[in-house]
Amino acid sequence: MPEAHATTEGEGTRVAVIDSGVLETHPDLAGPLNLDLSRNFTADGGDHNPVGSDDHGTHVAGIVAADNGGGVGVNGTAPKTDLVDCRVFSGPTASFGDILAAVVYSANIDADVANLPLGAYPIPRQAQGQFYGKVLNSAMTYANKEGTLLVIAAGNDSADLQHDKNFISLPNEGAQAVSVASTGPIGYGWDADGGGETSDLVAPPESPAFYTNYGTNAVTIAAPGGDADQTAIGTGVPWFNDLVFNTVFSYVDTDGDDEPDTQVPGYGWKAGTSMAAPNVAGAAALVKSANPDYNANQVEAALKKAAEVPDDYGKEYYGAGYLNVVDAL
């Protein structure tokens, strides 16, 4: 990313994050976050900020656009993009109605990229055919036509989406979706000096994560989303270093009534295709920034042309290949 940022940091672009809300008081997100355009698409009566302790969207937004505004934090992939928060979660679930409303809204505010680190699987193809075949695909096609690239998590079910017969994963298998699978290292920083050299790794950064969905025609590209050696948990090694470190918050009791009531900005680790997708969304913003005349399909083509399938791994985990931001630029 430092080499890519020598060319652009995403200036002149806009990325919408469709998720659980972005904490506007986080010092690394307050700068890029567009409060005037950010919206709550649920019916819970709140604003765009996350509800309770759900910091998923805050972590995702940091991967896209954190700008180290506090001086001690992190930089995202496109720290100078205009970040728009579209909250579609109010609790653990979201409705597809709210999600599609946020997709259309993203297109209507001229977002260059909409990042959807969410999804549902398995969905019966026949039972939901009218929905995904018409409503969802129509909304996604509209967004793409308006210039908004839809970058969507492929899912964390370890599922072969190519051969699951009567089931489908949505929205990443919908029309015009850039479906992102996840990779990650195993062994980063486990060595005594914490150097994290490639020679120290059990698995390289481009290796498929244990949880990622896959499928030759169901995955567009792969990107870092974190991995984990589950047998290492509890053994004393810093296994969490193989996850993705970024912006989060803690939900803590500040008034002494033993009930959480305040969201305190911080940093932490998560992993998933939800973390891989914003890496691609941020990369798409960089490509658009460097090539302002590109439409959504041309931005996608640049990312795919630059990507390559790593040696010793199958195409089903990568689609076009492993994200290469510098060559895409």
**Which carries the bigger pLDDT value, residue 189 or residue 109?**
109
Angle at 288 between CA 282 and CA 291, to 5 degrees: 145
| Residue 195 confidence (pLDDT) above 70 | no
Domain extent at residue 307: 2-328
pLDDT in tens, 262-300: 999 999 999 999 999 999 999 999 999 999 999 999 999
pLDDT in tens, 52-108: 999 999 999 999 999 999 899 999 999 999 999 999 999 899 999 999 999 999 999
How many structural domains does the chain have?
1
Angle at 147 between CA 143 and CA 151, to 5 degrees: 65
Q: Which of 89, 80, 88 lies closest to 106, judged by CA?
A: 88
What gap in Å lies between CA 259 and CA 68, rounded to an integer? 30
Cis before residue 122, ω within 30 degrees of 0? yes
Query: Cα 201 from chain centroid?
Result: 24
> What was the pLDDT predicted at 197?
65
What gap in Å lies between CA 324 and CA 291, rounded to an integer? 16
- Strand pairing report for 262-270 and 244-252: antiparallel
Do residues 225 and 275 lie in contact, with contact meaning Cβ atoms separated by under 8 Å?
yes
Angle at 291 between CA 287 and CA 292, to 5 degrees: 110
Sign of the torsion formed by the C-alpha atoms of 13, 116, 270 and 239: negative
Q: What percent of the chain lies above the pLDDT cut of 70?
A: 98
pTM for this prediction: 0.96
- Three-state DSSP class for residue 105: helix
At 95, which CATH number? 3.40.50.200
Query: Cα 323 from chain centroid?
Result: 13
> What was the pLDDT predicted at 193?
63
